[in-house]
Amino acid sequence: MAKNKSNRLPIYAVIFTVVFKLLFLLTHYIQEDAFITWRVAQNVLDYGVIGFNGETKISASTTHLYVFVSYFFNLIFGKEYFIEPLLIFNSILFTVGTLLLAHLVLKNPWHKAVFIFLIGILPPAIKISILGMEYGILFFLEMALLYYGFSKGKKWVLILLPVLIMLTRIDTVIFLGIVFLVDIFWNRKIRWNYILGGILGILSVLSFNWLYFGELVNNTIVAKKLLYEHDFTFAQNLNYFLVSFGNFWGMLKVPGSFNPVTVIVLIFELLCFIYLVRQRERRNYFLWMIFLFGWIKQIIFMSQKSLFDWYYWVPQLLLFVPVLIFVLELKEKRNLWLSLLVVFYILPMTVFQTVHSIATGNGEWNYRRKIGLFLNTYEKDKNQWILLEPAGYVPYFSGLKTIDEVGLVDKQVQTEIKKDKSNYWINTVKNRKPKYLLSYKNLFEGNEAAYYQAHYRLLKEFRVKDHLKSDNKILEKIYRLKPSGTDYNLYIKVD
């Protein structure tokens, strides 16, 4: 009887961790790009088209599978009430994924329970669960592939899950490839079911893109590469990598190219990994998979100057797994080491993320969302266009048709970038004549000031400093400690 209760501990840990993390819903910190996916899902609901602006097809979201999941949540709960249920669903899936990971690398039920909770309250785990992105689903699918496909030997899993994983994000080919290589090296044989699953996954996402959108690669990838690509010298590339390393390898972002916390944690992760794999246990098979993936994914994306937080969430967590295993399985002074890890790393990281979530949630939900709500009330004709960046909160809550600076949701911007990259913004304004412009800059200053003054007037100024007040003094201190958001000027066409 006692053994059965002990075996249920990891399940209890999943429930407790999910409930604990639901407190972060109160911060209203939702990633800007989640609203792009959700608007695409609602476009499917309203127009029957995977797009962003009415009946125009465009792969504005990075993820196909999550678009359809979001579509069903909109269908079931309605546009007004789907967000919280979807965030809870994401959190549950992610935490179940940590349960599967715990089964792969640990034996003791108590160790599994502690592992699930501690990894679940680290900053990347909180962001994966609550920020509305597709990584909760992705983490669950990847861990389910390892557990049911490679640990339990379910052949249908090896065929089906690579397809779902690739449809979630096309860059998961890195994860699937690392798993394939480690499996061959470890077992000295080829799993043909897995090869079939990988081929079907690649064919499914590429054929869907080609047949539906007329493109092989998602528009989001093409647009970012086009706008952000620069010809750098070796020294500039190296500097960019070092800055990225300091900000993205670890869980704590600090200004500058050197982050001592990241370096210390990286060394500790490596030492723990080396110690564990020397024990020649069956779990080394999976430790090699997740650790190599973490390193390779980080290096590839940093070298490509992919400076978006969410690309690094899963690798950050997987690279930290050996540290937790090492501390949990210590024979001597385990409680002391565990206490030190919690007090000096995990707890500070959780506090850091709490402050970050509260401050950023204020900047996004209480500030940027209100720009969209203002426009929603002010402009009743939802066929009017707005040019802005980014294409998340404001388009979603305003309901206006949108041209974004990067070209994620409107391909014509990419045409202007190809023609004249340095002047594509003003050329887009002159050619498209959107009714609204939302800009970080004062458009009535600079080389093109005369044109803007002749054709647009300033409708409203939005300032971050106006949203740093709260009746709760603690919240107000947090808002002022880490102001989040960007000052905007909203212009309206006069002719």
pTM of this structure: 0.94
Region 393-409: mean pLDDT is 93
Categorize the per-residue pLDDT at 7 as very low, low, confident or very high, splitting at 50, 70 and 90. confident
Residue 474 makes CB contacts below 8 A (sequence gap 6+) with none
Tell me the CA distances in angstroms from 477 to 75, 271, 395, 464, one per residue in order: 40, 39, 30, 15
pLDDT at 334: 86
| Residue 481 pLDDT level (bands cut at 50, 70, 90) | confident
Residue bearing the bigger pLDDT, 108 or 307? 108
Better-predicted residue by pLDDT, 195 or 389: 195
Arithmetic mean of pLDDT, 209-228? 86
Q: What is the Cα gyration radius of the chain?
A: 24
- Residue closest to 428 by CA, chosen among 454, 452, 458, 461: 452
> Taking the domains of the chain in order of start, what are their residue ranges?
2-329, 359-493
pLDDT at 238 over 80: no
Asked if residue 234 has pLDDT above 90, the reply is: no
**Which has more confidence, 484 or 18?**
18
Q: Is the pLDDT reported for residue 1 higher than 60?
A: no
pLDDT value at 292 more than 90: yes
- Least confident stretch, 182-196, 295-309, 388-402: 295-309
Could you give the CA distance from residue 227 to residue 230 in angstroms, rounded to a whole number? 9
DSSP 408-454: SS-THHHHHHHH-GGGHHHHHHHHH--SEEEESS-TTSSTTHHHHHH
Q: How far apart are CA 311 and CA 317, in angstroms?
A: 12
Residue 347 has pLDDT above 70, yes or no: yes
- The answer, yes or no, to whether residue 94 has pLDDT greater than 80, is yes
Segment 415-470, tens digit of pLDDT? 988 898 889 999 999 999 999 999 999 999 988 999 999 999 999 999 999 889 88
Q: What pLDDT score does 5 carry?
A: 62
Percent of the chain with pLDDT over 90: 75
Per-residue pLDDT tens over the stretch 333-345:
888 999 999 999 9
> Alpha carbon 432 to chain centroid distance?
31
CA distance 144 to 121: 21
Whole-angstrom distance, CA of residue 405 vs CA of residue 227: 9
Amino acid identity of 58?
A: I
pLDDT of res. 255: 64
What pLDDT shows up at residue 329? Answer: 93
CB 318 within 8 A of CB 291: yes
Residues in CB range of 468: below 8 A, 6 or more apart: 362, 476, 479, 480, 483
Question: Residue 316: is its pLDDT beyond 80?
Answer: yes
- Work out the mean pLDDT of the chain and round it to a whole number: 92
pLDDT for residue 233:
75
Which class for 222: exposed (0-12), middle (13-18), buried (19 or more C-beta within 10 A)?
middle
User: 193 in helix, strand or coil?
Assistant: helix
